Amino acid sequence: MNEWADAKCFPPLHTGIKLSWMFFLLFQQAASYYCNKLGFEPLAYRGLETGCRDVVSHVVKQDKIIYVFASALNPGNKEMGEHLVKHGDGAKDIAFTVENCDYLVQKARERGAIIVKEPYVLEDKYGRVKLAVLQTYGDTTHTFVERTAYNGLFLPGFHTPLHRDPLLAKLPSGLLNFIDHVVGNQPDDEMVPVVEWYQKNLLFHRFWSVDDKQLQTDFSALRSIVVANYEETVKMPINEPAMGKRKSQIQEYVEYYGGPGVQHIAMNTSDIITAIRNLKERGMEFMCVPDTYYQLLRKNLQQSQVRDTTFSDVLINELKILVDFDDNGYLLQIFTKPVQDRPTVFLEVIQRHNHQGFGAGNFKALFEAIEADQNARGNLTILKPNGVSNQI
């Protein structure tokens, strides 16, 4: 999901959409966490000191990945307050860089999209930026950002950070390069309508899909469809739970988040071995899969057509990185534990070698690891057909 992919024309042949940034309803300590644990650097700031009286925003960046962490400054901020009460900390907005904001908003409106904020302009001495906000699944939004006429640090109104932690320069690099994909969880039977929303309103297309016959463990299952823009630089898997013996991690997310929302953000790296070593040295906590997974992996790799494997089996096992492959190539991936108190949003680190899948071959190992954490939380409960779960 490289945000700098070229775009030359517009719908219906071309979306003109690239990933821009992720906007979280969090606060200063969260921004510090992403810098200390994941290797981000402070990029920009907006708050009381810059003349913004209502909301404070901390912007952090690592290579092409930009996260914005925001919180209310004053009591009574109903919009932010109600969102946090319902959902807890989470990703509120996925922003896209676009070439023609007015055109895309007009076409989306004609197709039935809800426009939360009509196109508006922000400007300062560095130029002007046009933005608009669209409603997508649940309370999640997409901001369109047209910034071809802007040369500033981030956006008009943002200044350089007030403080830079001197400790960050002494820590090993996170080696995270760009956002690979962003996953949205939906309640049961709501995945297809969301997929159709992206197809209809943003002219995305189906890129990849799996059903509960392919993605299941002894306890739980899911269905997933990945949508992508025309250029296939923006990829968004849309998940929903499927009926199983116990409550799936997707259902757990929906219940704790209070509805649909961003489940995880995958960040691409060109060197996952060094990246995970460095992130673990910085104190980042990842999910752990059993050694039996690697015993089976070695056996399956020997029987596969994949020969161009540049990774070390020993290091993969040591770092608990997952491997998925087909006849053409492979991917390496690992998942963090939830990055807030509610068991909702988590992160992924991924490296691809001629493989454009999303780890379907790792589903069983991943979900068994997640189910172990669910069990520790008391949430691996028996699920009845009516969706009611009983404690075991």
pLDDT in tens, 43-87: 999 999 999 999 999 999 999 999 999 999 999 999 999 999 999
| 237 & 278 share domain | yes
Residues 68 and 142 occupy one common structural domain: yes
What was the pLDDT predicted at 43? 97
**One domain for residues 153 and 182:** no
Final residue before a domain boundary, out of 154, 170, 186: 170
Q: Which of 141, 170, 199 is the last residue of a domain?
A: 170
CATH number where 310 lies: 3.10.180.10
In a domain, residue 252? The reply is yes
Quick check: is 390 in a domain? no
| pLDDT value of residue 219 | 60
Looking at the domain assignment, is residue 2 inside a domain? no
Same domain, 150 and 184: no
pLDDT at 176 (0 to 100): 98
Neighbours of 169 (CB within 10 A): 8
Q: Same structural domain for residues 128 and 245?
A: no
Query: Are both 209 and 246 inside the same structural domain?
Result: yes
Annotated binding residue at 181? yes
Flag whether 1 is in a domain: no
pLDDT value at residue 220? 62
Residue 388 lies in a domain: no
Cα(285)–Cα(339) distance, rounded to whole angstroms?
A: 9
Q: H/E element holding 347?
A: strand 346-353
Same domain assignment for residues 228 and 155: no
- Residue segments in the chain with a per-residue pLDDT below the cut of 70: 1-15, 25-27, 212-220, 244-245, 307-310, 359, 361, 363-372, 380-392
The tally of domains found in the chain comes to 2
For residues 392 and 61, what is the distance between their CA atoms, to the nearest angstrom?
Answer: 43
CA distance 30 to 21: 16
If asked whether residues 229 and 118 sit together in one domain, one would say no
Query: Which segments within 147-281 are labelled E, that is strand?
Result: 178-185, 205-210, 221-228, 235-242, 261-268
List the beta bridge partners of residue 15.
none
Q: What is the DSSP code (8-state) at residue 335?
A: E
The verdict on residue 215 lying in a domain is: yes
List beta partners, residue 6: none
Q: Which two tokens stand for residue 53?
A: 């009286």
Say whether both 108 and 212 belong to one domain: no
Does residue 391 form part of some domain? no
Domain span including residue 149: 17-170
Tell me if 388 sits within 8 A of 352, measured CB to CB: no
79: left (phi over 0), alpha (psi -120 to 50) or beta: alpha
- What are the strands, taking DSSP E only, across 110-197? 115-124, 127-135, 141-146, 178-185
Select from 147, 170, 193 the last residue of a domain.
170
Same domain, 120 and 188: no
234 and 354 share a domain? yes
Q: What is the pLDDT of residue 263?
A: 96
Same-domain pairing of 136 and 285: no
pLDDT (0 to 100) of residue 7: 31
What pLDDT is recorded for position 366?
61
Q: Give pLDDT, residue 14.
A: 56
| Assigned domain for 12 exists | no
